[in-house]
């Protein structure tokens, strides 16, 4: 993306709530930058993405691309992809039709979609309905859907949550491959510090209610990286020591919610330790 994204949410409060969900949240992303956003539950991570996507317009603040509002007159300044926590495929459309659905205003042809499906190893299921696929396959399709329309900005809301470790690892690899081809700007929300470190160029930490950026960590490790890499582990542990009060809650949550995914035999390479 040739454009620089700037988010400035002065205040977002949900109707009927006592406290703001997000307050004074500022962040920016460079063209093609992979930004991970971590924070405990209730930090307004999903709210942030919904506001950027324009799914929620009720806020005090502005979201700009190159100094111009991202949303204006019901139009979006950039092509936007969104990967949700759930695959959210249309159950009555085949895989290929699910992908074609988001392509209407593009010159892309069904051939390009087929090519992409071949590339990610999904060509033999293009006529299947989502219900005939495993959970991992559905996520894979929803990931591909975000890339078929060549997004300039890609929003991802904990897309690999509650997947088993090998599947999540494969999907992360696929994400990095697709991202490497098109280089959209990515805002990747997760509550797993390790995942953020393994994927992103920069990690932003949000505090909980109201959510705002409290820490920013550049990740200058060479790619490809894996969740279990020693360098990721070192950075993870060093951050925990440096910012114990900030990150302890986050790590507690990480341990509880995804015990199956962190330190595991699949992703941790013994040789790299």
Partner 1 sequence: MLRVRETWLRGLSLLAFLVIWQLAAMAVNKPLLPAPTVVLTTLWNDLTEGSLLYHLGITLARVAVSFLIAMALGTALGIVMGRYRDVDAALDSLLVLALNIPALVTIILCYIWFGLTETAAVTAVALNKIPTVVVTVREGARAVDRQLMEVAGVYRVSMRRTFVQVYLPQLYPYLMAAARSGLALIWKIVLVVELLGRSNGVGFQLGTFFQFFDITGILAYTFAFAAVVLVAEAILIRPLERHLTRWRP
Bridge partners (DSSP) of residue 25 are 9
Do the beta carbons of residue 152 and residue 185 sit within 8 Å?
Answer: yes
Report if residue 90 touches partner 1, rule: CB under 8 A. Answer: yes
Distance CA 202, CA 25 (A): 16
Residue 169 neighbours by CB under 8 Å, 6+ apart: 226, 227, 266, 267
Report if residue 243 touches partner 1, rule: CB under 8 A. Answer: no
Residue holding tokens 């695959």?
87
Q: Which is nearer to partner 1, 53 or 247 (CB)?
A: 53
Distance CA 5, CA 156 (A): 15
Q: Which one among 8, 24, 31, 84 touches partner 1, defined by CB under 8 A?
A: 84
Distance CA 139, CA 133 (A): 10
Residue 201 structure tokens = 């160029």
What does the angle CA 39 – CA 41 – CA 264 come to, to the nearest 5 degrees? 70
Stretch touching partner 1 by CB under 8 A, among 8-16, 61-69, 95-103, 201-209: 95-103
Q: From the CB of 44, what's the least distance to partner 1, in Å?
A: 18
Report if residue 259 touches partner 1, rule: CB under 8 A. Answer: no
Bridge partners (DSSP) of residue 153 are 80, 185
Residue 238 structure tokens = 């060093």
Q: Which is nearer to partner 1, 54 or 249 (CB)?
A: 54
Q: Which is nearer to partner 1, 90 or 259 (CB)?
A: 90
Q: Which one among 19, 101, 259, 269 touches partner 1, defined by CB under 8 A?
A: 101
Question: Could you say which residues in the range 50-69 bind partner 1, by CB under 8 A?
Answer: 53-55
Distance CA 156, CA 49 (A): 8
Q: Which is nearer to partner 1, 19 or 92 (CB)?
A: 92
Report if residue 188 touches partner 1, rule: CB under 8 A. Answer: no
The one-character DSSP state at 147 is H
Q: Which is nearer to partner 1, 148 or 235 (CB)?
A: 148
Report if residue 91 touches partner 1, rule: CB under 8 A. Answer: yes
Q: From the CB of 14, what's the least distance to partner 1, in Å?
A: 16
Report if residue 76 touches partner 1, rule: CB under 8 A. Answer: yes
Give the binding site for partner 1 (CB under 8 A). Answer: 53-55, 76, 80-82, 84, 86, 88, 90-93, 97, 101-102, 104-105, 129-132, 145, 149
């Amino acid at each position: 993306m040739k454009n620089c994204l700037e988010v400035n949410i002065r205040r977002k409060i949900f109707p009927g709530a006592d406290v703001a969900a997000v307050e004074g949240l500022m962040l920016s992303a460079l063209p093609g930058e992979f930004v991970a956003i971590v924070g405990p539950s209730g930090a307004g991570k999903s709210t942030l993405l919904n506001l950027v996507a324009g799914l929620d317009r009720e806020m005090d603040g502005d979201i700009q691309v190159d100094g111009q509002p991202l949303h204006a007159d019901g139009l979006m300044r950039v092509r936007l992809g969104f990967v949700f926590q759930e695959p959210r495929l249309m159950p009555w459309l085949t895989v290929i039709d699910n992908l074609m659905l988001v392509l209407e205003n593009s010159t892309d042809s069904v051939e390009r979609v087929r090519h992409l499906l071949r590339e990610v190893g999904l060509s033999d299921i293009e006529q299947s309905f989502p219900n005939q696929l495993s959970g991992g396959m559905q996520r894979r399709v929803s990931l591909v859907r975000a890339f078929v329309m060549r997004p300039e900005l890609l929003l991802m809301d904990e897309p690999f949550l509650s997947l088993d470790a090998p599947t999540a690892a494969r999907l992360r690899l696929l994400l990095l491959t697709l991202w490497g081809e098109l280089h959209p700007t990515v805002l990747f929300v997760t509550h797993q510090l390790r995942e953020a470190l393994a994927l992103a160029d920069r990690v932003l930490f949000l505090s909980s209610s109201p959510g705002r950026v409290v820490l920013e960590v550049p990740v200058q490790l060479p790619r490809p990286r894996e969740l279990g890499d020693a360098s990721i582990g070192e950075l993870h542990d060093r951050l925990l020591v440096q910012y114990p009060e900030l990150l302890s809650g986050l790590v507690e949550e990480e341990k509880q919610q995804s015990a199956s995914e962190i330190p595991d035999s699949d992703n941790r390479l013994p040789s790299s330790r």
